[in-house]
Structure 1
């Protein structure tokens, strides 16, 4: 708000001179010279100011929340557009798929679809976690936006037999 204007009461004292007591906020006179009407006006002004300030804060917060939601939608839309523009579905004739968080190449027979179970090559983490040999994964997406080296899928996972 900056520097506040210094105001004085200004009402006449018994000596006939203006009262020099400082007043603040919504007050129109000092405590000695204020009438009941002055106090009621000051109280109404304070209520109005407080309610207006509170409504302004709520409005600003609501506006900011709307802006945040709009920006989130816009970022998601742009990420989708970028994904479509940069997604690769084949490399040198091999199908590219994502299994979980990672991308792999498939050069086996037939095309893989989302939900297909596949055997993934062993790596140092899978060896510690699941033991030696390939691990089973599920194709989660076709294509990838990843641009590095890709491992090859070992094969399709055997279909689990239902218990009889």
Structure 2
């Protein structure tokens, strides 16, 4: 491999001695001694190198993106397997559902489904945010992997007016 980092033009000057002007990169001669063909070859080399670099970068980015997507899918699959192995749909004979990030127990006679509107019991945060009384929310998932104490859903929410 040729080291192009510290080179001189080397073309003969008017006195006959080699030109000592430094050249770098794709250039084969200094601006004074380079022919049109030298300039065209240097430009073609720069253009090819640039295209190769860009193509390599895009290929690397594409490969990385593909790998990330595969790993994210694998994590999702494993989370679903783990969730399925630990998810319960009843606690103490009553249906459990997730509403947003929290789990509640439903003691009603008709089971709830994802998308059902329910009334949640008032808590400190809901009282500050929505005022006193139950808060309307939507069932987002059936069952739970949560194993702590549960609050009861107050009831089904009235149908939304719309």
Partner deviation per Cα, 1:100-122 (whole Å, 9 max, x = no partner): 33211123434333344433222
What does residue range 137-156 of structure 1 map to in structure 2 within 5 Å?
Answer: 137-156=137-156
* Partner-residue secondary structure (3-state), 1:50: helix
For residue 98 of structure 1, report the CA deviation from its aligned partner.
1.4
Task: Please list, as runs of the form range in 1=range in 2, the aligned pairs for 1:78-97 lying within 5 A after superposition.
Answer: 78-97=78-97
Q: What's the TM-score once normalised by structure 2's chain length?
A: 0.78
CA RMSD in angstroms, aligned pairs only: 2.8
Which residue in 2 is equivalent to 1:103? 103
Q: Which moved more, 1:25-34 or 1:127-136?
A: 127-136
Where in structure 1 are there 5+ consecutive unaligned residues? none
Post-superposition offset of 1:156: 4.0
**Separation in structure 1 between the aligned mates of residue 142 and residue 69 of structure 2, nearest angstrom:** 29
Q: Which moved more, 1:152-161 or 1:79-88?
A: 152-161
SS in 1 for 2:13: coil
State TM-score, norm by structure 1.
0.78
1:84 and 1:143 mapped to 2: Cα distance?
10
Question: Using a 3 Å threshold, how does the CA distance of structure 1 residues 106 and 52 change in structure 2: closer, same or farther?
Answer: same
> How far apart are 1:59 and its partner, in Å?
2.0
Q: Could you say if the C-alpha distance between residues 12 and 124 of structure 1 is closer, same or farther in structure 2, counting changes exceeding 3 Å? A: same
Q: Does 1:121 align with 2:121?
A: yes
Cα deviation per residue 1:124-162 (whole Å; 9 max; x = unaligned)? Answer: 23333444333343332211122332112234446679x
Whole-angstrom distance in 2 between the partners of 1:120 and 1:160: 16
Describe the SS at the equivalent of 2:98: strand
Match of 1:53 in 2: 53
